[in-house]
Each structure stands twice: as C-alpha cells, then as structure tokens.
C-alpha cells in the first residue's frame, strides 16, 4: 500500500492545483488546473475510462484551461488531465440535467482558508451526497484572495471539485484580488456575474461588490436575465446567489440595505424560489414577501455566534458549520441544512409556479398529525409523512414556560417527545409544537409527582 501512495504522490508532483470543473453549459464544461512549471496541456474524455475524445494545446503555461465539447445531457463522462509526463487520476462527472429531469445541487460559502479543518469537514460531508449535479458557492472562497489561499482552497476541495463543477459568486474578500479570481475561476461572460441553467431551473450569480443600482450594467443584465427566464416555459424555478444578505439578525452584520432596496423587489416580482447568500458565518433562513432568503456561510470561516432578537421574518438560525442540499423535482423544491456530522436541520419544501407567473408559490408543510399521548405523562406523540424539524415548548396554565424547549430532527414515521417530568407538578399543561410550517397546540395532563 505504501509504494502505491508514494507513486500516486509522484504522479501528481507537477500539479499545484489538481484538475477541477467550471463553466458547465448544456454541452460543454471547462477543466482547469495549474502546474509548478510551464508545460503543455491535454484532457482526454469520454463515456468510459477508455476516453476516445481529447482536447489539447501545445503552448507551455502554468495555468491550464480546456473546454470539453459535444457532451450529452444527463450523462456521466470520464476525464483525465495531462501536463507533460504527469497525468491526473481518472474521474467521472455528471453533465447538466435536461429540462424535466430531477436534480440536486449543494450550496455553501465563506470557506475563508483560515480554518482548513472546518472547511475540510464540510467538504467531506458534501462529497457524500449522491446524485449531485453541481455546487454553488456564496463567496469568500479565501480570506483575502492571495495565491496561497487559493492553493489551500483547491487542495481542500480537490477530490470534490474534480467531480462537480463549482458556480461561485464573488465575495468581498474574493474581490480583494480580482486578478487571482480571474486566474483561478473560469465563468461565462465577464466572470464577475453570470447565469446558467440546470433541469427546469435558472440560476443567477450576482456580484454585490460592484454597482447594481437601476441603470447600472449589472442591474440591466440581471433584469434582462429575469425577463428571459420568465418568458421561457421550461423554467419553473429561479435561484439567485449573492454574497451580502439583505436580511439577517446576526450581531456580526446588519444586512445590506442596497440589496433590499434594489434587488429584493426584482426577486419578489419575478418570484425567485430561494436567494442564497453568505458573509455571515452561520446559517439563517428568512421569509420576506414570499421569497426565501437563506444564508449559508458556515463553510469554514470562524463562526459568528451572536444573534439579535428574532424578527417576524426569521424562520430558523444556527451558528454552525454547514451546507445546504437542494433537490428539484418538477414543481417541488426541497432544501435542508446539513452539518458536517450529517445531522440535518431546517427543511423547506416549496411547491412552485413558473418564474414570473401569477401562479401561487406555496410552502408545503410536512404532513404531520398529532397522536393520542399516554394519559398522565408529559408527552407528545405525532406522526410525520416525511423528515421534519420539530420545536416543542411546554407551558403551565399561567402561560409560563416550565421546561427547556426541545428542538430535534425527526425522520418519517411515529415519534414521541417526553418532557422531563421532574420539572412538572401534577396538573394540566399546554404543549406548543412547531413542525416545519405547521403549528399545533396539545393538552398535556401530568399525574406524576414532581421531584
């Protein structure tokens, strides 16, 4: 085993950044890598590890970028990159989902390169997600855009991004060094903001480090994309990625007023399903005027643990390392936060009309029903048809909270929640339960003596 590992390390000696995927379209994808010394580049690819197609250039360079063409949708391809005498391992990647086909994507951000252990833990868990089409990043891949920080970012993510294209938005720290952004990131158009499609959905990555007021280049481009998406019957969902969140209750940041003023009205007008952002190193879900805003900034940067008071638009918040998994199937979108240990939280299910239409966009609560509890116990019994996040509180007849709130994730099936009976004297209590978007109030009779 040891000789094999040494041989593998030697085979990749020239790759300072191993091959990774970007800029995927309906029939193409970009492969990028860097080498320690200038050399030629070649990528072999095909439906099997026998390849059959290749693209190359003879000029010597350290920054390599080649586009694979003629790709079929909903297909797995193999590829490997070759620079001089060095060859990367064979890797398989998925092409873009065709309209009407279900797909999954992952969203994360604020990796920052200042705690590679936390960053690695998030990426390791993301790599376990099956049937994933691509990964989106809400910005701040690095702490200040330095070359060494990009090398760390891609070293942590090398096995993950060799198999999935990354679609990043520019964070404020990425903007500290745009030359390095252009060097390591390959995106359509001007590479500072861009759009792409997958399945029945349109995706727009904005750059809130540059002007986006009405009449600006970026605003006009964004509006044009929205108009085109709303006129396309194949587009059922719209997702937007940006770095600065418009709404947050974090003590680390107050939310961006310009985003609220200039961009949120467009998100509401064109009925975006979810707007993902970062900047706050935590997870927070807000719902404002039928648009879901999710901050996913727990990708590795030092966590922001302070919170101001919750607001009427606050749905869920937690200072944790995490990413968001999004499944799209027909008119249904399901998002769920996932921690590095695999535990899940804050599930959202949206049943959507088409982008820009007047059809209702409904948040579909999990089908939860309360079951009869055992009389005399401080207990709640319920059944759920699908996984659900449950928050339960127990109050006495005077409306006083008598036990610490219980917050837990449950799978589909029948479940019980038992309050600590030592905190309850005999009597009648009121249990208030929030299960997904559904709320229940249950009567709880306690017979046991408190101790």
Q: What does the pLDDT look like over 387-429, one tens digit per residue? A: 677 777 777 766 677 777 777 777 778 888 877 655 667 777 7
CATH superfamily, domain 1-96, is Immunoglobulins (2.60.40.10)
Burial class (CB in 10 A: 0-12, 13-18, 19+), 2: exposed
Residues 6 or more apart whose Cβ sits within 8 Å of residue 399:
none
What confidence tens digit (pLDDT) does each residue in 101-126 have?
999 999 999 999 878 899 999 999 99
The DSSP secondary-structure symbol of 313 reads T
What's the chain's average pLDDT?
A: 88
CATH number of 97-363: 3.60.21.10
Q: Tens digits of per-residue pLDDT, 315-361?
A: 999 999 999 999 999 999 999 999 999 999 999 999 877 787 766 66
Q: Where are the domains of the chain?
A: 1-96, 97-363, 368-446
pLDDT digit string, tens, across residues 193-252: 999 999 999 999 999 999 999 999 999 999 999 999 999 999 999 999 999 999 999 999
How close are the terminal C-alpha atoms of the chain, in Å?
A: 60
pLDDT at residue 134 is higher than 80 = yes
What pLDDT sits at residue 247? 97
Q: Is the pLDDT of residue 2 over 60?
A: no
Percent helix, percent strand, percent coil in the chain, to nearest 5? 15, 40, 45
Separation between Cα atoms, residue 363 and residue 385, nearest integer Å: 16
Packed helices 116-126 and 147-161: angle between N→C axes, nearest 10 degrees: 20
CATH class of 368-446: mainly beta
Same fold, 1-96 and 368-446: yes
- Distance, in Å, from the CA atom of 137 to the CA atom of 22, rounded to the nearest integer, reads 12
Residue 6 pLDDT > 60, yes or no? no
* pLDDT value of residue 451: 36
């Amino acid at each position: 085993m040891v000789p094999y590992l040494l041989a593998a390390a030697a085979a990749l000696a020239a790759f300072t950044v191993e091959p990774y995927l970007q800029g995927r379209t309906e029939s193409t994808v970009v492969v990028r890598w860097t080498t320690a010394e200038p050399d030629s580049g070649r990528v072999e690819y095909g439906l099997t590890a026998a390849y059959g197609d290749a693209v190359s250039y003879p000029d010597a360079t350290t920054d390599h970028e080649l586009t694979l063409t003629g790709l079929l949708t909903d297909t797995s391809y193999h590829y490997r990159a070759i620079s001089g005498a060095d060859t990367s391992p064979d890797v398989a990647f998925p092409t873009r989902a065709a309209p009407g086909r279900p797909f999954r994507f992952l969203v994360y951000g604020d990796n920052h390169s200042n705690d590679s252990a936390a960053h690695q833990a998030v990426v390791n868990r993301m790599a376990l997600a099956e049937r994933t089409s691509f990964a989106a990043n809400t910005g701040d891949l690095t702490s200040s855009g330095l070359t060494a920080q990009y090398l760390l970012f891609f070293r942590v993510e090398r096995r993950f991004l060799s198999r999935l294209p990354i679609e990043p938005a520019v964070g404020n720290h990425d903007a500290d060094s745009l030359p390095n952004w252009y060097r390591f990131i390959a995106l359509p158009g001007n590479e500072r903001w861009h759009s792409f499609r997958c399945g029945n959905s349109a995706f727009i990555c904005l750059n809130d480090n540059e002007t986006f007021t009405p009449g600006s280049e970026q605003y006009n481009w964004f509006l044009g994309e929205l108009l085109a998406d709303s006129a396309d019957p194949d587009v059922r969902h719209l997702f937007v990625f940006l770095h600065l969140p418009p709404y947050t209750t974090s003590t680390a940041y107050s939310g961006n007023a310009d985003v609220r003023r200039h961009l949120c009205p467009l998100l509401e007008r064109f009925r975006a399903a979810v707007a993902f952002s970062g900047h706050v190193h935590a997870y927070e879900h807000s719902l404002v005027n039928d648009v879901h805003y999710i901050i996913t900034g727990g990708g590795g940067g030092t966590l922001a643990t302070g919170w101001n008071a919750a607001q009427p638009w606050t749905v869920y918040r937690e200072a944790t390392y995490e990413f968001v998994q999004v499944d799209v199937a027909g008119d249904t979108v399901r998002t769920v936060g996932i921690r590095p240990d695999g535990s899940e939280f804050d599930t959202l299910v949206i049943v959507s009309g088409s982008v820009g239409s007047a059809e209702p966009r409904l948040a579909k609560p999990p089908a939860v029903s309360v079951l009869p509890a055992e009389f005399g116990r401080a207990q709640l019994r319920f059944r759920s048809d699908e996984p659900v996040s449950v928050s339960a509180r127990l109050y006495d007849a005077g409306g006083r909270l008598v036990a610490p709130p219980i917050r837990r994730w449950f799978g589909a099936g029948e479940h019980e929640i038992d309050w600590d009976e030592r905190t309850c004297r005999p009597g009648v209590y009121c249990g208030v339960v929030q299960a997904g978007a559904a709320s229940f109030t249950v009567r709880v009779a306690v017979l046991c003596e408190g101790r």
